[in-house]
Structure 1
Amino acid sequence: MMTMKDVNLTLSPPIPITFLSTLHNSNTWTARILLTRNSPTQSLRLCSSINRTAAVTSPAKEDDDGDEAMVDSAADVVRKFYGGINAHDLTSVEDLIADRCVYEDLVFPRPFVGRKDILQFFRTFTDSVGMDLQFVIDNLSTEDSSRVGVTWHLEWNGKPFPFSKGCSFYQLEVVNGKRQIIYGRDSVEPAIKPGETALVAIRGVAWLLRQFPQLADRL
C-alpha cells in the first residue's frame, strides 16, 4: 500500500543545491523537493509517495549494512568450506573457521573445540579418505545471514558411497571483517538402522523416567 508521508531532514554542513536537485532520480525517493536556507544548516523537505514499509535508516545502520555487504554470505562461506575439504586445501578452510568455533560430529563422543582441533580433525579425515571420496551438497539454505542448513552425501569417483548421507547445521558471524563458522554440527546416516527397534528403546527409556524421575538427573 502506498501512503503519503512528509519527511524533514536537516543537513549539516550545507550541501550544494545542484546535488539536492538530483535526488529526484534516487531509487529510494520519488520526491518534490522544497529548499529553504537556514544558516548554518539547510533544511530539506521531501513530500513523497513511499511504501509504508520503507524506513529512514540511521548512518550507523547504513554502515552496518555496508559491512555485511563487504563479506561473503553465510551460504558462500559454507560452500567454500566443503570445496576446501574436497580439495584437501585446509589452508583455504582455516579462515572460514572462527578461532573459538565448536564443531560437533555426532559420530564422536565429544565436540572439537577451537580452530586448531577442528583443522586437525579434518586433516585426519582427508588423509584417511584420499581424493576419491568427495562431499556433494544436495540442498543448502541461503536466506539467513547467520545460519545455514545443508543436506549432503559422499561419492566415490562420482558414485554414491554407502551409508554416507548426512545433514549439517552451521552458525556464522562476522569476526574481524570476515564471516566465519562459530558452530557446526554433523549428523551422519548410521550404518546400522534399527528401525522400529529404536522406537521400542525410546519408549522403554521414557517409561523408566516416568517411574523414576530422579534418573533424569543422570542423563
Structure 2
Amino acid sequence: MAVAVNFSAQALRQRTCHRARACLPFDPLPFQRSCQLEYQKRMKEQPHRIAIKRQEKNKITINRGVSCIMSSNNDNDLIFGPPSASDTIKHFYVCINEKDLKKVGDYISEHCYIEDCSFFNPFNGKKEVMHFFNLLTRGMGQNVKFVIEHICEGDGFTAGVNWHLEWKQRQVPFTRGCSFYECSEEGEKIVIKKAKIVIESPVKPGGMALVLLKNVTTIFDEFPRAAEWFLKSPHIILQSVLKIYAIFFAPFVNPLVASYIRVWEFMARLLACAIKILLYISRILFR
C-alpha cells in the first residue's frame, strides 16, 4: 500500500538550505572573494590616493599663485631686474600725465634728438627737448592724458607706441599718434636717445591723396633725371622757391598776411574776454 506524503515546499527549502550550509564549508564564492580583495586593496590605497590628490591640489594652488603674481606684475608694471625699453616708455608717459617735468628729465638723454612731424625743425639736445615737453604739458591742462593703446619692443632698446589723448576718459578727436623710441643705457637706467613722433592729421584727403600720388609718380617716370636730382636734394629747390618768393611776392603778400593775422588775434582776444565775462556772470547767478 502506497502512502502519499506531501511535503511543503517551505520545509524542503529550509532543509536543503541547512544541509547545504552543513556540508559546504563557510567560504565565499569566487566573485565575492574578488570583490572583497578589491575592496581591501582600495582601502589600503585610499590614503596614498588622498595624499596624491592633496599634492596635486597643492601644485595647482602654487601654479595659480605664480600666475596671479605674474598677472599682478603685468597689471601694475612691477619691474624685477633691469628695466626694458617698453617699461621705460610706459613710465615716461606716466610722468607726462602727472606733469612731473623733473621725472621726465630723468628719462631724457643729454644728446636726445626728437623729430615731431608737426614741426618743421627737430628738437636737438636735452634743453630743447625739455622746452618742448614743458609746452606740451602746459597745453594738456589738468584733464588731458596720454593713453597707450599698444606698445611693442624691438632689438637694441627700441620701442614703438600707439597712443591717443583723452579728456576725462573721453577720446579727443584727431589726437591719435605713433611714436618710435630709441633708448640707450646710462649707468643703471635706460634713457631716451632718439624719437620720432607722427600725429594724425585733421585733414583727410582720401582719394585726393591717391590722385596726387599718381600724378607725382607719373612726372617722376617721365623725367627720371630731374626726379633723381629732386629726391637727392629737395632742400635746394625749396630754398630757390623761397628766394623767388622773397624777391617778387613777399613785399605784397607779407603785409596782407600780417594784417590778416592781426585781425584774427583781435577776434580771439575779444572772444576770450566774452567767455570770461560769461563765466563771471554764471558764477554770480548760480551760487
TM-score, normalising length: structure 1: 0.65
Give the whole-Å Cα distance in 1 for the aligned partners of 2:100 and 2:181: 20
Partner of 2:164: 153
SS of equivalent to 1:160: coil
**Contact 1:104/1:111 (<8 A) preserved:** yes
Q: Deviations over 1:58-115 (max 9, x none)?
A: xxxxxxxxxxx85321111101111111111010011111111110111111111111
Give the whole-Å Cα distance in 2 for the aligned partners of 1:162 and 1:70: 39
Give the whole-Å Cα distance in 1 for the aligned partners of 2:164 and 2:100: 20
Give the whole-Å Cα distance in 2 for the aligned partners of 1:85 and 1:187: 18
CA RMSD of aligned residues (A): 1.7
Q: Say if 2:87 is the partner of 1:76.
A: yes
Give the whole-Å Cα distance in 2 for the aligned partners of 1:127 and 1:196: 36
Partner amino acid for 2:171? P
Q: 1:216 Cα shift?
A: 2.7
TM superposition outliers: structure 1 runs of 4+ over 3 Å: 142-145
SS of equivalent to 1:169: strand
Give the whole-Å Cα distance in 2 for the aligned partners of 1:131 and 1:154: 13
Give the whole-Å Cα distance in 2 for the aligned partners of 1:189 and 1:91: 28
Q: Say if 2:174 is the partner of 1:199.
A: no
Q: Say if 2:231 is the partner of 1:216.
A: yes
Higher relative contact order (CA 8 A, sep 6+): 1
Indicate which of 146, 165, 170 corresponds to 2:176. Answer: 165
Partner of 2:103: 92
Q: 1:141 Cα shift?
A: 1.1
Paired residues in the alignment total 151
**Contact 1:80/1:93 (<8 A) preserved:** no
Give the whole-Å Cα distance in 1 for the aligned partners of 2:90 and 2:216: 39
Structure 2 residue runs without a partner (length 5+): 1-79, 235-287
Q: Say if 2:147 is the partner of 1:132.
A: no
Compared CA separation, residues 115 and 100, structure 1 to 2 (3 A): same
Give the whole-Å Cα distance in 2 for the aligned partners of 1:98 and 1:203: 42
SS of equivalent to 1:192: coil
Q: Deviations over 1:106-159 (max 9, x none)?
A: 111111111111110010111122021110000111464511011111001110
Structure 1 residue runs without a partner (length 5+): 1-68
Partner of 2:246: none
Partner amino acid for 1:100? H
Indicate which of 95, 112, 116 corresponds to 1:101. Answer: 112
Larger Rg belongs to:
2
Give the whole-Å Cα distance in 2 for the aligned partners of 1:197 and 1:181: 37
SS of equivalent to 2:148: strand
**Contact 1:148/1:171 (<8 A) preserved:** yes
- After TM superposition, the structure 1 = structure 2 runs for residues 6-85 of structure 1, keeping only pairs within 5 Å, are 71-85=82-96
